[in-house]
Chain A
């Protein structure tokens, strides 16, 4: 549900909604929601001073029952 909610929230605010992909990844230190967006949209989902990213984290964190959710924002095709 969290991936889907995050995908919906991000799709609504970007210029290339069809390029938005959210996957939940298990990393060594825990789960991460990895959001990939069109390169032109990366600034938009981060926002001024990280403000939009913080808003996404606040809403998704609350839907997750107030656990801190780690959300990574990346460009489509970006290697990490």
Chain B
């Protein structure tokens, strides 16, 4: 094991210091918008090959990538592959996988991003694969759907908009969906990582 400094590190690119910049957060959010658009227009995928076999291929590449990491890190986990709608889902199931999730799912998001890049390298097309570890996403989705429903009914009663706590793009998407299902309107406001969903009364 290696001793690390207790400070945010930076990436050295040649002589240039590339630091996390303010625009990064906007880009993350732009991507979320892109993701949603792709969700709604699945047939416009550049390759149009989101058939079952290519989703299964995505899942297999992702599973290999994750399995390699589990082996190296000496973590026990079983990998399940599934297709949910038009998306490959790879789930790692195991007892001690907190390191791959993080306190608030931030490690899981990072790992999913890397896994999507790994799939992209092999298939050449942009992957929308979802990675779950230890049931984190499934559990979080249930909680947030319930929260969205509760807040929607509260806003419907009071007629006053309500702002929720800061959430990740994944979390906000679930809230938006739950609010829409309840017949109300919601928007995201603010900048990452303090972007929050605001729920508005109908009409």
A64 touches B114 (CB 8 A): no
Residue of B nearest to A64 (CB): B4
In the bound complex, what is the Cα–Cα distance between A57 and B12 (angstroms)? 13
The reply to whether B9 and A57 form a contact with Cβ atoms under 8 Å apart is yes
**In the complex, are the beta carbons of A63 and B99 less than 8 A apart?**
yes
Point out the residue from B99, B100, B113 that lies within 8 Å of A51, measured CB to CB.
B113
Near A by CB (< 8 A), chain B positions 103-157 give 106-107, 109-111, 113-114, 117-118, 120-121
Q: Which residues of chain B have C-beta atoms less than 8 A from A59's C-beta?
A: 100, 107, 110-111, 114
Residues of A within 8 A of B113 (CB): 51-52, 55
- Residues A52 and B20 in contact, CB atoms below 8 Å apart: no
B111 engages A64 (CB within 8 Å): no
Contacts of B69 in A (CB 8 A): 5, 8-9
Contact of B13 with A46 in the complex, beta carbons under 8 Å: yes
Number of interface residues of A (CB under 8 A): 47
Task: Report chain B residues within 8 Å CB of A53.
Answer: 11, 18
Taking the closest CB of chain B, its distance from the CB of A22, in whole angstroms, is 11
| Residues A24 and B73 in contact, CB atoms below 8 Å apart | no
* Contacts A55-B110, A80-B12 given; does A68 touch B5 at CB 8 Å: yes
Cβ contact within 8 Å between A31 and B73:
no
Contacts A68-B7, A72-B11; is A33 near B110 (CB within 8 Å)? no
Residues of A within 8 A of B187 (CB): none
Interface residues of A in 21-68 (CB under 8 A from B): 24, 29-33, 42, 44, 46, 48-59, 61-64, 67-68
B95 CB-CB contact with A under 8 Å: no
Q: Residue A64 contacts which of B2, B23, B28 (CB distance < 8 angstroms)?
A: B2
- From the candidates A4, A44, A67, name the one contacting B6 in the complex (CB within 8 A): A67
- Interface size, B (range): 35 or more
Tell me which residues across on chain A come within 8 A of B111, comparing CB atoms. 55, 59
A67–B113 Cα gap in the complex (Å)?
Answer: 21
CB–CB A54/B20 < 8 A: yes
- Residue ranges of A at the interface with B (Cβ–Cβ < 8 Å): 1-5, 8-9, 12-15, 24, 29-33, 42, 44, 46, 48-59, 61-64, 67-75, 78, 80
Which residue numbers of B lie inside 8 Å of A, CB to CB? 1-14, 18-21, 23-24, 27-28, 65, 68-69, 72-74, 99-100, 102, 106-107, 109-111, 113-114, 117-118, 120-121
The 10 closest A-B pairs by CB, nearest first: A70-B9, A30-B5, A58-B110, A55-B110, A12-B118, A49-B24, A13-B117, A67-B4, A62-B107, A53-B11
8 intermolecular pairs with C-beta atoms under 8 Å apart: A1-B74, A8-B72, A12-B114, A13-B114, A50-B11, A59-B110, A67-B6, A73-B13
